[in-house]
Amino acid sequence: MRKEVILVTGANGEIGHGLIKKIGEENRAWVVALDLKPLDEELMPLCERFIQGDILDKMLLGRLIAEYEIKTIYHLASILSTKSEYNPETAHEINVEGTLNLLRLGVELSQWQGCSVKFIYPSSIAVYGLPDIETKRKEGKIKEQRWCQPITMYGCNKIYCEHLGRYYSKYYRQLAKDPIKNNIDFRCIRFPGLISADTIPTGGTSDYGPEMLHNAAQGIPYDCFVRPDTKIPFMAMPDAIKSLLLLENAPAKQLTQLSYNVTSFSPSALEIKNCAKEAFPNASINFKINQNRQTIVDSWPEDVDDSPAKRDWGWMPDFNMQQSFNDYFIPAMRRLY
Ligand code: AKB
């Protein structure tokens, strides 16, 4: 008997940590975790199985079909925006070819299991590309259809994979003599910057937020690489996990689109600094602008319109800015450090 499981790629990443803990805590399902790096000890007991492997390894993915009844795929593996700019072609290979392999696996599983496999895909505000600060300010809460002209390889990868998800869920091999019966059920969330109290991000451009807080909590001086007035949307990690599980469990008939914005608060970099200083008065936080990374963040929206997510699947963050700092980050970071 093949065990019914949820497959999580990029399991050792920030979202992977939060998701596997939540699924484990609530005993929601068996998790098969996949990551290039060894899985954190604390996550091991929460997984049915951990596979240290590469999403570019088609043989490895093919074996999963024989061993497990995979109902849902959380495809979290990805190279983030800053790291992608240092090696765009490798980022393309992992972010796009890797996703293509998982979408293909999803279609094969749907065929094999005779029902659609849910494919949950974390996209990003990086799909947006605002041409200048004036337009960014004027646009305010951006809607999903607007300004999808990303300026980073990562953003290009994410928007393309959203299109691939639509193709694999609705139009895959549409001219084939033997049309596919069961496609995948592709569902996507465009995440803002995420702040986790348990893990520190690697390779992103919204990282200045969490880095500032984690450094302040450890008393390590921090040079913020964006201007104090820089604004993009952020969300506390528990809300990111909540949004993924809410979307996964939403009845398909309620979903009117494939990709959804979600958010919680849009602080300026200076506001994040002030919150960090309030909690850790001795923290040393300065602004040392990296113009190239600033240009990337300036192309991202200062806020997003997440009313479709609220309408279609009852999305609502549990932590606004104050609660994120006072009830989640600061207490957890005090415990951690
Ligand atoms: C990044 O900075 O690359 C990510 C993102 C906003 O998607 N955190």
DSSP 120: E
CA of 246 to the centre of ligand 1 (A): 21
Q: To which residue do tokens 């600060």 refer?
A: 133
pTM score, two decimals? 0.96
Tokens of 262: 């979600």
159 lines ligand 1 (CB under 6 A): no
- Nearest atom, ligand 1, residue 207 CA: 2
User: What pLDDT score was predicted for residue 1?
Assistant: 56
Question: Could you please report the per-residue DSSP string of 265-307?
Answer: B--BHHHHHHHHHHH-TT--EEE---HHHHHHHHTS-SEE--H
From 78, 80, 293, 294, the mutation candidate for ligand 1 (largest count of ligand atoms within 8 A of CB) is 80
Provide the 3-class DSSP secondary structure of residue 116: coil
Tokens of 35: 């990551």
Phi, psi of 140 (to 5 degrees): 55, -120
* Amino acid identity for residue 217 in this structure: A
Tokens of 298: 């300036």
Give bridge partners of residue 304 from the DSSP assignment. 142
Q: Which residues contact 210 (CB under 8 A, 6 or more apart)?
A: 193, 194, 195, 196, 200, 201
User: What pLDDT score was predicted for residue 29?
Assistant: 84
81 lines ligand 1 (CB under 6 A): yes
Q: Which residues contact 182 (CB under 8 A, 6 or more apart)?
A: 110, 111, 113, 114, 115, 116
Tens digit of pLDDT at every position of the chain (337 positions) = 566 799 999 999 999 999 999 998 887 789 999 999 999 999 999 999 999 999 999 999 999 988 899 999 999 999 999 999 999 999 999 999 999 999 999 999 998 888 899 999 999 999 999 999 999 999 999 999 999 999 999 999 999 999 999 999 999 999 988 877 668 999 999 999 999 999 988 899 999 999 999 999 999 999 999 999 999 999 999 999 999 999 999 999 999 999 999 999 999 999 999 999 999 999 999 999 999 999 999 999 999 999 999 999 999 999 999 999 999 999 998 888 8
Question: Could you please report the per-residue DSSP string of 149-201?
Answer: --SSHHHHHHHHHHHHHHIIIIITTTT-SS--SS--EEEEEEE-EEE-SS---
CA of 193 to the centre of ligand 1 (A): 6
User: What pLDDT score was predicted for residue 66?
Assistant: 85
208-218 and 269-279 are packed helices; what angle lies between their axes, rounded to 10 degrees?
20
Tokens of 149: 């002209």
214-218 own/partner pairs: CB under 8 Å, 24+ apart: 214/333, 215/283, 215/285, 216/276, 216/277, 216/279, 216/280, 216/283, 216/285, 217/279, 217/280, 217/330, 217/333, 217/334, 217/336, 217/337, 218/337
User: What pLDDT score was predicted for residue 190?
Assistant: 98
CA of 232 to the centre of ligand 1 (A): 11
Q: To which residue do tokens 């809460």 refer?
A: 141
Among protein residues, the one whose CA lies closest to atom 6 of ligand 1: 193
- Nearest atom, ligand 1, residue 194 CA: 8
From 207, 234, 292, the mutation candidate for ligand 1 (largest count of ligand atoms within 8 A of CB) is 207
CA of 231 to the centre of ligand 1 (A): 14
User: What pLDDT score was predicted for residue 3?
Assistant: 66
204 lines ligand 1 (CB under 6 A): yes
98-113 and 58-67 are packed helices; what angle lies between their axes, rounded to 10 degrees?
20
